Amino acid sequence: MNIRDARPEDCPQLARLEAEVTSHPWSAAQYAGSLSAGHRFWIGEEQGEIVAWAVTLSVLDEAELLNIATAANRQGRGLARALLDALCTGLAAQGCHLLRLEVRDSNSRARRLYTGAGFTESGVRKHYYRSAGGREHAVLMEKPL
């Protein structure tokens, strides 16, 4: 997998791909706004096809993982972990010492990914996300880089 920065024309495709894998996808406008705001996009490609992507925000020596996903037809192959490892290395090289994230309490697959990559739980935002059953907690996680 090759990793590159995003281009504005990637935003509609990222929104379409994410809509296939999550019940709470970002829209093309949200991706475009994030790109315009200067957030770092990590686009994983295989043979010119986007297969995984992530978005981070860096402030001073800390970063936040805003989004990470893998295309539906490429899940289960370790691409999200490879991308997560690459972005951790890249952020550390830029001088970041800590990466934070939040994840839905019900997203056990993502939580396993993060725990396996060395993240630890650092807190909970109770009733943070809307869900079909009302509200659910956001689990806060972090990893020293």
Catalytic residues: 102, 114
The helix-helix angle for 28-36 and 11-19 (nearest 10°) equals 130
One-letter identity of residue 5: D
* Strand boundaries in the chain, DSSP class E: 2-4, 40-46, 49-59, 62-70, 98-104, 120-131, 134-144
Q: Does residue 107 have a known ligand-binding role?
A: yes
As a whole number of angstroms, the distance between CA 27 and CA 48 comes to 22
DSSP 75-98: TTSSHHHHHHHHHHHHHHHTT--E
CA-closest candidate to residue 4, choices 90, 125, 104: 90
Binding site per annotation, positions: 107
Binding site per annotation, positions for acetyl-CoA: 107
